[in-house]
Amino acid sequence: MKTFVGIDVAKAHVDLFDTRTKTHRQFENETEGIIQCTDYLISLDPELIVLENTGGYETSLAVALQSAGLPVAVVNPRRVRDFGRAVGRLAKTDRIDAMLLANYAATMKPPERPMRDRKSRFMKALVTRRHQLLKMRTAEGNRREHSHDKAIARSITAVIKMFDRELKKIEQQLQALVSASKALNQRVKALTSVPGIGEITAIMLVTEVPELGQLNRRQIAALIGVAPINRDSGSFRGKRMTGGGRRTVRTRLFMPTLVACHHNPVMRAFYQRLLEQGKSKMTALVAAMRKMLTIINTMLTKNEYWKPKLT
């Protein structure tokens, strides 16, 4: 009988449930507890272990399990909640959540997450930190616009300068890490050959979407959440929508796509054609993002640079 394991991760502890022995176990979410949890799971020899993405609390455990050669999938919490509603499990405790995750693993069998090495994890953390700093800098910039007191304005300006220094440090670290890797350097150079994609956006893409170049166009569009979703029932034909996937990547691709729609001849022609067909600007922009992802996915698959040919 195959064993599927669900692990509910909290700051202080992790709760575990497996489908074969139907046993609950709890371990501390710190070094010694993670070692004990890993040893226990090795003894179970599970088919799949599923954890939710909790914003970072799951990272140490996931890395430890993957390093031990165990099959791990880190899933979107919303999908697990929807699964719970579908099977009628509305109550919520750590033990119930662990059981739900195990049943989700057994039923849905989500794909394993490829293991990231230490360098990749560090780059991902730097990219995330840069995004956090940018959000805080934007907030301070907005406050400065509405500040009528010189002392307050000076304080805000000082904070903005501090953010600028930290952003520069992080960008230099990212550039150094890319330069030190021949494979990463080649992928970033290929992406920056696309008009509209700058170096930081290229680094974000190779860090946040390592699957680029390994999936087909439909899979990469679904992964990022820019594939249109049908909403039809009987004779009713609903409006196609996009969603799900990696929202942070979509958010960070918005401005590069907008720039490409004005300065990249292929993307500009595509975008204008959609507008002439009566599509809204936002619909056309999302379609352009999908097309750009398709192009760069193909480029990385074939190990090619941008070819400015209208299609």
Q: Which of 141-155, 180-194, 220-234, 290-304 has the lowest mean pLDDT?
A: 220-234
Is this prediction's pTM over 0.85?
Answer: no
pLDDT of residue 309: 60
Taking 3-state DSSP, the helix, strand and coil percentages for the chain, each rounded to the nearest 5, stand at 60, 10, 30
> Rounded distance, CA 127 to CA 130, Å?
5
> Rounded distance, CA 251 to CA 261, Å?
16
Residues 6+ apart with CB under 8 A from 139: none
> Rounded distance, CA 198 to CA 188, Å?
9
Helix (H), strand (E) at residue 236: strand 236-237
Instruction: Please state whether 191 falls in left (phi above 0), alpha (psi between -120 and 50) or beta.
Output: alpha
CA torsion through residues 277, 279, 281, 283, sign: negative
Q: Long-range pairs for 128-131 at CB < 8 Å and ≥24 separation?
A: 129/170, 130/167, 130/170, 130/171, 130/174, 130/200, 131/248, 131/252
Contact between residue 17 and residue 101 where contact means Cβ atoms under 8 Å apart: yes
> Rounded distance, CA 262 to CA 240, Å?
25
pLDDT of residue 244: 60
Residue 78's pLDDT band, with cuts at 50, 70 and 90, is: confident
pLDDT tens for residues 261-276?
Answer: 999 999 999 999 999 9
Residues 6+ apart with CB under 8 A from 247: 225
Residue 228's pLDDT band, with cuts at 50, 70 and 90, is: low
What torsion do the CA atoms of 106, 94, 87, 79 make, to the nearest 10 degrees?
A: -70
pLDDT tens for residues 32-44?
Answer: 999 999 999 999 9
